Amino acid sequence: MKPVFAAAWILLFALAQSPALLASDDMENRAEADRYYQQGDFKKAYRMYFKLAKNGNHYAQGRVARMYARGEGRRVDFAEAYAWSVLAGEGGETIPVMNSEKLLAQTDNPVTAQEKAEKLEKKYGKRALAEKEFLRAERATQRRSGACMGSNLSCSR
């Protein structure tokens, strides 16, 4: 098998396996974050939810929105709550979406809140995360196959 085809198969395998592995870790971390939240340790819960939210976990994005709206572990910030609720809605979370208009109405500046939502979408939305995952898998494939040795490609990132 030629190196290019081998690299392509490795890339496809890595892309297929990554979501399953991440989902398992997500469930464990989500359960731990939920425990902290239920115990009232909002700062620890927020840190864990935020990490999950940045990695595309829509449930955690909804929880981050809720925590900003209620001031749990963070200061109350309706614009931030709105932005995270919109992002959570992208993944099918219905409660944050139902609350998003209420949150937008409570912000001091709805335009700023909408801009925050757009920034979060560009940074943590489905497309952005898919592009990051693709690039990560591509670099891993290049390192394994030696395709970037001696070329201008940077495989160490």
> Would you say residue 150 lies in a domain?
no
Domain assignment present for residue 153? The answer is no
Least confident of 24-28, 137-141, 143-147: 143-147
CA 74 to each of CA 81, 92, 108, 119: distance values in angstroms, whole numbers, following the listed order: 11, 25, 18, 20
Residue 105 lies in a domain: yes
Please check whether residue 110 lies inside any domain of the structure: yes
- For the chain, the domain total comes to 1
pLDDT of residue 106: 92
- Tell me the whole-structure pTM to 2 decimals: 0.70
Query: Residue 36 belongs to a domain with what CATH number?
Result: 1.25.40
Q: 147 or 32: which carries more pLDDT confidence?
A: 32
Q: What is the DSSP letter of 76?
A: -
* Residue bearing the bigger pLDDT, 94 or 155: 94
Question: What range does the domain containing 46 cover?
Answer: 3-145
Residue 141 lies in a domain: yes
- Residue keyed to tokens 């196959």: 145
Is residue 31 assigned to a domain? yes
Tell me if 151 is assigned to some domain: no
The confidence score (pLDDT) of residue 143 equals: 80
Query: Average pLDDT of 29-55?
Result: 96
- Of 73 and 7, more confident: 73
* pLDDT at res. 96: 76
Burial class (CB in 10 A: 0-12, 13-18, 19+), 103: buried
pLDDT 10s digits, 2-30: 554 455 545 444 444 444 444 567 889 99
Phi, psi of 77 (to 5 degrees): -150, 95
Rg (CA), the chain: 19
Q: What is the DSSP string of 132-146?
A: HHHHHHHHHHHHHHT
Give how far Cα 124 sits from Cα of 1, 20, 79, 113, 156, Å: 37, 19, 17, 16, 23
Percent of the chain topping pLDDT 90: 46
Residue 71 is assigned to a structural domain of this protein: yes
